[in-house]
Structure 1
Amino acid sequence: MLDLNTLAEFSRGNCISICAFLVPANLLVTISTIILVALHRPSYQVWQSVGIASFFASVMILHVYTWFMIGVVMAPTYILLCLAITCLVTNLAAILFQRRYSSSPSLSN
């Protein structure tokens, strides 16, 4: 069975390496989602990118909550939480933007 206490200890013990991976991963995949939408790529490519970005952002939120569980309330925890939430909202906005404008006719002739 999965022991959440051990998982939280692992998360806090390896914070530097976890954040060193998750911060660039969140930014790169979210930027790639925006680029895919801007280039009018097919929906399955956008959804794939959004799924990966949402996974990374959710892992970062869970990682930050392991610090909140032990009472660590500092600027980096809030910055990382805001980054993850911003990535989630940006990916949601990209999906909504693609759905709204993919079916509308092009304005150029």
Structure 2
Amino acid sequence: MLDFHHLAEFSRHNCIGICGFLIPANLLATLLTIILAVIGRPNFQVFLAAGVASIFAVLMMLHVHSWSIVGVVMSPTYILSGLAITCLVVNVTAIIWPKRQLQASTVSHNV
């Protein structure tokens, strides 16, 4: 059985290591998603990169939430939450963007 109390304690006790991994992982994975979407790689590759980047962003939000539960709310709480939300928005946009481009090119060819 998964005990969330122990996971939250682990998250708080290993904050430096978790943040030291998740911050660069979020930024690099989201950057990879942007690059793959801009250069026009197949949707599967963009979806895979966005999925991995979204997992990192959700893990960041859970880590920040573990601090919020115990009442520790400081500027890093807002900064890391903003980073995670920004990465999630960018990844969702990268998934939606190729579909919009395809629809726009279809409409321009029909005119």
The alignment's TM-score, normalised by the length of structure 2, stands at 0.92
Decide which structure has greater helix share. Answer: 2
**Does the 8 Å CA contact 1:11/1:66 hold for their aligned counterparts?**
yes
Q: Please give the secondary structure, in 1, of the residue aligned with 2:72.
A: coil
**Does the 8 Å CA contact 1:54/1:88 hold for their aligned counterparts?**
yes
Cα RMSD between the aligned structures? Answer: 1.2
Specify the alignment match of 2:39 in structure 1.
39
After TM superposition, the runs of 4+ consecutive aligned structure 1 residues lying more than 4 A away are none
* Partner Cα distance (1:14, 1:50) in 2: 26
User: Where do 5+ consecutive residues of structure 1 fail to align?
Assistant: none
**Does the 8 Å CA contact 1:40/1:102 hold for their aligned counterparts?**
no
Deviations 1:54-92 (A, max 9, x none): 100000000000000000010001100000000000111
Amino acid at match of 1:6: H
**Does the 8 Å CA contact 1:61/1:81 hold for their aligned counterparts?**
yes
- How many residues are paired up? 106
**Cα offset, 1:98, TM superposition:** 1.2
The alignment's TM-score, normalised by the length of structure 1, stands at 0.93
**Cα offset, 1:102, TM superposition:** 3.4
User: Where do 5+ consecutive residues of structure 2 fail to align?
Assistant: none
